[in-house]
Amino acid sequence: MSASARRPPLGRGLAALFGEAGGGAPSGAMAARVVPIETIRPSPFQPRRHFTEAELDALAQSIREKGILQPLLVRPVAGAAAQYELVAGERRWRAAQRVGLHELPVMVREVADSEALEIALVENLQREDLSPLDEAEAYSRLGRDFGRSQATIADAVGKSRSHIANSIRLLALPAPVRRQLEDGALTAGHARALLAAADPAALAGEVVRRGLNVRATELLVRRREGKPPPRAPRQRDADTVALERDLGSQLGLRITIAARPRGGTLSLHYASLDQLDRILALLRRGD
């Protein structure tokens, strides 16, 4: 069995990593301890590239008033006695330096490089701190450097596989569009729509200039690429919808009716074998 198969998904939350789930410390962890702040160094696997001055100042003020409420998660540095590398908690570490703290509470855990990246990624995603490109690069790195499939990445961080795939696609955008996404001039939705354009950078400028929303951006791309606009969904007949509802209430099932110019179909949807048995019993009453 692989390591990824044995390890529970990290998307369940960071609490379990600190021994708060299940009432005990996780495997490989040690009790909380206090270490000198100079023995801790940042992680090369931190997916977040930017920490704003305002947020660090606000966190520093909170630390002055209340202290460090949760230990930082660190791992030992190989070949260096009493030296640690951050796994989770870089914002607190940076803010603590601003406050002038000399010691910090930590939990020490032996984790592999890929798991260190996953934990840092989950910590940021849970606070929605990552930019779309930082998130995309972290997913890409898990696949590129650690051989993770999109399915196992999705399981590890608690996201859908389509979310992982769509996120990584953003890295294919030209540099000018990535800068606009990083600066907040474009959203991830705008960027995904622009991926379908032959010249995303040219259209991105127009999107920003005209202040187009994501839906309008999608239509702009389709028009410039010579594609017809998507068909509007057909409005369903109100009488048919009412009939579906009435039949469904009587039978305790989901009913769909598809009318055609000549005839149509009536579909009975069951969610369990018990429901299927009940449908068959109803149909056999006329035998």
Neighbours of 202 (CB within 10 A): 15
Burial class (CB in 10 A: 0-12, 13-18, 19+), 80: exposed
Could you say which DSSP state residue 268 is in?
A: E
Which residue out of 38, 65, 85, 90 is catalytically annotated?
90
Beta strands in 1-128 (DSSP E): 33-36, 40-41, 72-76, 84-88, 103-108
Alpha-carbon distance values, 152 to 44, 230, 235 (Å): 22, 33, 40
Tell whether the torsion through CA atoms of 95, 97, 101 and 104 is positive or negative. positive
Q: How many CA atoms lie within 13 A of 175 on its CB side?
A: 0
Beta strands in the chain (DSSP E): 33-36, 40-41, 72-76, 84-88, 103-108, 254-259, 264-269
Asked if 9 and 88 count as a contact pair (C-beta separation under 8 A), the reply is no
Asked if 152 and 115 count as a contact pair (C-beta separation under 8 A), the reply is no
Task: Give yes or no: 225 in active site.
Answer: no
φ, ψ dihedrals at 254, nearest 5°: -85, 125
Neighbours of 52 (CB within 10 A): 9
Residues, the chain: 287
Tell whether the torsion through CA atoms of 158, 109, 144 and 187 is positive or negative. positive
Residues with a catalytic annotation lie at 90
